[in-house]
Structure 1
Amino acid sequence: MIKTLIIINLVLILASLGSGMFFLAKDDGKGNRVVTSLTIRVALSFTLIGLILVGYFSGNLVPHQIQ
């Protein structure tokens, strides 16, 4: 379940990145949609970090050890 949420969050981050790039090219600095897109992307990134930490500490995500 946690892995699915992480993948969905990554897709949403990429969508926010794409929309920010589109608004940056289209608005010519007249709107605040780029700032809103950046805010959403930062919030999603914090959520991603939180999901990774929850998954790690709950034992659902196990790091691989290189030997």
Structure 2
Amino acid sequence: MKYVVIVAFVAILGSLAAALVYMMRGGVQDEGEAPRQRRMARALAFRVGFSVLLFLVVLVAYFMGWIQPTGLPLQR
């Protein structure tokens, strides 16, 4: 499960980096190429979707008993 979370975070950060590259890239665009804004929006939509998917996977794993909470004990 740990490796799934690590791969998901790498994919999320990679998508965010791709959106940054599309946003910062300047110059004249080719006619056959998709506009920068569309590519950037697609990369950001992938990041949001993958983040939601990761949250749902962690939630399902918790309910199935595959992962256990190990938080700090409360001090009173």
Give the TM-score taking structure 1 as reference length. 0.83
Name structure 1 gaps, 5 residues minimum. none
Moved over 2 A (4+): none
1:65 maps to what in 2?
71
Question: 1:8, CA displacement in angstroms?
Answer: 1.1
Name structure 2 gaps, 5 residues minimum. 28-34
1:34 maps to what in 2?
40
Give the alignment's Cα RMSD to 1 decimal: 1.6
Higher relative contact order (CA 8 A, sep 6+): 1
Greater Rg by CA: 2
Count of matched residue positions in the alignment of Structure 1 and Structure 2: 65
2:68 counterpart SS class? coil
Structure with higher helix content: 1
Distance 1:24 1:36 in 2: 12
| Contact 1:20–1:34, Cα closer than 8 Å, also in 2 | yes
Among the aligned pairs, what percent are the same residue? 29
